Chains A and B, each alone.
Chain A
């Protein structure tokens, strides 16, 4: 019934022994693969560069902290001023982070879910604190609330101390961390659009209920990601806080400021002891961040997916 098969194959013109030899001598590389020498040189350059500039300082922190043994480490940790600094840092973060969450959600909500004139200007303004030097961020509060500041005398008359006091530290911290949560949520919420919310509303859910039951679950990992970065910066901020704090031991010294004070007093072990706590915070932050990027890749903003 079927035709005889067409001859698709002609006999090879070259003796097969020649072919086998050629096949065993050369290994072809796929076109987009780099020569191994280039590959290993570049990996070595990157690893050495990162090890020298990033990892070595981190290692140094812990080595210096334990230079005089574990006992000295514990003594430095239990120092009254050190404990006060830790408490103040936690307090500042406990105020700054929630403010950031509120601001971030509100900003992302109006930018991602609505169209309005001046939107791109608002986006630029939200990013502004990232392009201002932390020292300048501190300076503007001194100019506003300081003894010779615009509102300083008025505030003083009412007995409100901002500069060289905790409120100034909190304000400066909020300033430098303001974009973190918003920046994380805006692209994420833009990606998600408004269809989920519209569906919930059409099913009869109220505005608040829609937010709590539909929007929030959609953005929770992205929000956590933003909070993580915001918290790390809030606890570690140095420049802005340094300008407004006045460095009063046990009162207006946060952990980074206490590090500075101790280091300048040549009390290296104590300085590195507190620094090691902050370094630990950084490591935990990085680990959680990597975990979020790996585990919840689809639920955080596009730029962090690998």
Chain B
């Protein structure tokens, strides 16, 4: 089932949580809503579910305008950050709850509810734990029960709020892979909220980056990482540093030198060059490189990370240095800018 969100505005009193958000999600797609806290990502998810009522705007499930359908009738599967399992029910009763509260005709028989709940329990790899209570499960197990419970109602769309937020790092990674597998097997249209960029990039078909109640950019993980459209997306995805530059005569100037970048579409005047650590390298000799001084060096995984200061501008940033290269703090060494994004200031 494809989902379309149209011009959603949500005001909480005076402050706006969402300022006109529109989003199309294709059937079977796995989409991440990524953003810092307060960006409105959870509010958007809750509005799609029908848990929150937007101030204005519409939500479509396929051709159907679901904007005025109460949450009970929207047929969504929602997994809460805290899981919100029913503590007084066993695992099996939790999973079967959605089916057992259906009205007369549409309610399956008790045996059928049990059979389907057991099937889902198997899907989430918790067979044998059906008689346990949520209090007797680990965090990761609870998460799986919450997912099975949401899937049991055969939802039109699966919505997950920070699905791995409450788990420790190791369990997070395992569950991430496992969720991807489940998605591939069941083919549900899935939307999940996260503040963790790694999680969003690794798991999602497409990522929508939210900031201050607006979608800054939406695209595949590659697009988002390689071609960020706004300074915010650049900063939020991966490490980055900004260096002041000038746009003049169709060229980008840094410290009085034109650098290897076209300034198409940018207006004349000051701008900001955004760089990731691997966008800059140490040059063998001065030539067209920029003079710089190394401030400090530290180990970072397979490479070393050097903090440098460009000699002619007030700009400090970090670059990756190959482990084979000997660099020392205090040393003068020219650098060459390979890539980067220029945004108006």
Direct contact of A and B (CB under 8 A): yes
Chain B, range 40-68, C-beta contacts under 8 Å to A = 50-53, 56, 58, 60, 63, 65, 67-68
Contact status B63-A30, CB under 8 Å: no
- Asked if A14 lies at the interface with its beta carbon under 8 angstroms from chain B, I say yes
Give Cα A3 to B223, complex, Å: 10
Is A2 part of the contact surface with B, judged by Cβ < 8 Å?
A: yes
Complex formed: what's the CA distance from A30 to B58 in Å? 16
A1-45 interface with B by 8 A CB criterion? 1-3, 5-6, 8-10, 12-14, 18-19, 22-23, 25-26, 28-31
CA distance A304 to B218 in the complex (A): 49
Contacts of A29 in B (CB 8 A): 53, 70
A283 to B218, CA, bound (A): 62
Closest Cβ–Cβ distance, residue A300 to chain B (whole Å): 28
Residue of B nearest to A4 (CB): B229
Residues of chain B lying within 8 A (CB to CB) of residue A23: 56, 58, 67-68
Whose C-beta in chain B lies nearest to the C-beta of A8? B218
Task: Report yes or no: B24 in contact with A9, Cβ–Cβ below 8 A.
Answer: yes
Interface residues on B, range: 35 or more
Kindly name the residue among B70, B208, B266 whose own CB sees the greatest number of chain A CB atoms within 10 A.
B70
Return A13 CB to nearest CB of chain B, in Å. 7
Q: Which residues of B sit under 8 angstroms from A31, Cβ to Cβ?
A: 50-51, 70-72
Interface flags, A120-137, vs B, CB<8A=1, else 0: 000000000000000000
Tell me the complex Cα distance, A26–B218, Å: 32
Residues of B within 8 A of A26 (CB): 68
Within the complex, the shortest CB–CB distance from B247 to chain A, in Å, comes to: 9
Query: Would B262 and A13 count as touching, CB distance under 8 A?
Result: no
B22 within 8 A of A: yes
Kindly state the separation between the CA atoms of A22 and B67 in the bound complex, as whole angstroms.
Answer: 8
**With contacts defined as CB atoms under 8 Å apart, how many contacts are there between chain A and chain B in the complex?**
69
If A2-B265, A30-B52 touch, whether A19 touches B24 (CB-CB below 8 Å) is no
CB contacts (< 8 Å) of B68 on chain A: these are 22-23, 25-26, 28
CA distance A28 to B68 in the complex (A): 6
- Measured between beta carbons, the chain B residues less than 8 angstroms from A14 are 60, 63, 65
Q: Given A19-B58, A22-B65, A30-B52, does the pair A1, B24 have CB atoms closer than 8 Å?
A: no
Contact A8 B261 (CB under 8 A): no
Q: CA of A23 to CA of B56 in the docked complex: distance in angstroms? A: 8
Query: Contact size class for A?
Result: 20 to 34
Residues of A within 8 A of B24 (CB): 8-10
Is B97 positioned at the interface, with any CB of A under 8 Å from its CB? no
Given contacts A2-B229, A8-B23, contact A28 B6 (CB under 8 A): no
CB pair B60–A13 under 8 Å, yes or no, is: yes
Instruction: Chain A residues near B262: list those with CB within 8 A.
Output: 1
Q: How far is the CA of A14 from the CA of B72 in the complex (A)?
A: 24
> In the complex, are the beta carbons of B217 and A1 less than 8 A apart?
no
B126 within 8 A of A: no
Residue of B nearest to A1 (CB): B342
Q: Across the interface, do B70 and A28 meet the contact criterion of CB distance under 8 Å?
A: yes
Quick check: is B343 within 8 A (CB to CB) of the other chain? yes
Q: Answer whether A10 and B52 are a contact pair too, CB < 8 Å, given A3-B227, A3-B229.
A: no
* Interface status of B4 (Cβ within 8 A of chain A): yes
Interface residues of A in 162-189 (CB under 8 A from B): none
When chains A and B are docked, how far (Å) is the Cα of A18 from the Cα of B262? 47
Interface status of B124 (Cβ within 8 A of chain A)? no
**Which residue of A is nearest B263, CB measured?**
A1
Which residues in chain B, 232-267, are within 8 Å of chain A measured between CB atoms?
Answer: 261-266
Q: Which residues of A contact B (CB under 8 A)?
A: 1-3, 5-6, 8-10, 12-14, 18-19, 22-23, 25-26, 28-31
Closest 10 CB pairs of A and B: A26-B68, A9-B22, A8-B218, A28-B53, A31-B71, A1-B342, A6-B219, A10-B24, A3-B227, A31-B51
List 11 additional contacts besides A1-B263, A23-B68; criterion CB under 8 Å: A1-B266, A1-B341, A1-B343, A2-B229, A8-B218, A9-B22, A9-B23, A12-B58, A25-B68, A31-B70, A31-B72
A-B contact pairs, 16 of them (CB 8 A): A1-B263, A1-B266, A1-B341, A2-B343, A6-B219, A9-B24, A10-B4, A14-B63, A19-B6, A19-B58, A19-B65, A22-B67, A23-B67, A28-B70, A31-B70, A31-B72
Q: Which residues does B use to contact A, with CB under 8 Å?
A: 4, 6, 22-24, 50-53, 56, 58, 60, 63, 65, 67-68, 70-72, 208, 215, 217-219, 223, 227, 229, 261-266, 341-343
